[in-house]
Amino acid sequence: MKTKRLVLFASGSGSNVENIVQHFNDRPNVTIAGVLTNKRDAKVLDRCNRLNINGLYFNKNAFQKSDCVLNILKSLQPDLIILAGFLWKIPENLIQNYPNKIVNIHPALLPKYGGKGMYGNHVHQAVKDNSELETGITIHYVNKNYDEGAIIHQAKTAIAPSDSVADIANKVHQLEYEFFPKVIEKLLL
């Protein structure tokens, strides 16, 4: 069986990246080809060093105004590109070169609470402010619009009125850790 290759994009601490890496550690038919980040000081790079995975920083110009990141991806030959807490909109050249191969996780039940600026605690605060009784995660393909690609999987969790934004975030993180690696694995089959 051919080894499947994943490239992960992250902008922050990389907890989802580490969870995905650990999930695939004992699966010799899946390789993490690299982790790319748009933040020079992102903690995900520290995790990459600790996990012995190639981590690479790129700037906005390399991502949006040139084929630099596209050329890096072509050299890494990913079967799937995973956005694991990556905050920039994916440029058209990447979407065109990797149709239905770029997968994002969003910390809400889309189509609610999606779009530009809706990430992390911004989403959880909006969910709390609207007195929602549940929230969750949406794993979806990436298209040219924020959070509008075809939905692959959703998972829900109940919210109590007494839950803080941190409580909601924790519940959503648990869903991310449980489901994201499993869904990625299914997509690779």
Do 95 and 119 belong to one domain? no
pLDDT band for 189, please (50, 70, 90 cuts): confident
**83 shares its domain with 59:** yes
pLDDT in tens, 50-108: 999 999 999 999 999 999 999 999 999 999 999 999 989 999 999 999 999 999 999 99
Asked if residue 90 and residue 4 are part of one domain, the reply reads yes
Q: Which of 23, 106, 122, 124 is catalytic?
A: 106
Task: Read off the pTM.
Answer: 0.95
Claim to verify: residue 65 and residue 112 sit in the same structural domain? no
Q: Are residues 62 and 114 in the same domain?
A: no
Question: 102 near 9, Cβ under 8 Å?
Answer: no
The answer on 25 and 80 residing in a single domain is yes
Task: Indicate whether 112 and 46 sit together in one domain.
Answer: no
* pLDDT tens readout for residues 102-142: 999 999 999 999 998 899 999 999 999 999 999 999 999 99
Within a domain: residue 144? no
Domain membership flag for residue 176:
yes
Find the CATH number of the domain harbouring 75. 3.40.50.170
C-alpha to C-alpha distance for 92 and 88, rounded to whole angstroms: 12
**Which residues constitute the domain of residue 165?**
106-138+155-189
Query: What are the start-end ranges of the H helices in 40-188?
Result: 43-51, 60-64, 68-76, 92-97, 120-129, 165-188
Mean pLDDT of 155-169: 97
Q: How many residues does the chain have?
A: 189
pLDDT tens digits for range 142-153 = 999 989 999 999
Active site residue 140: no
Domain shared by 30 and 62, yes or no: yes
Based on the structure, what is the number of domains in the chain?
2
- 115 with 90, same domain: the answer is no
Q: Residue 42 is encoded by which pair of tokens?
A: 């992102």
**Helix (H) or strand (E) run with residue 143 in it:** none
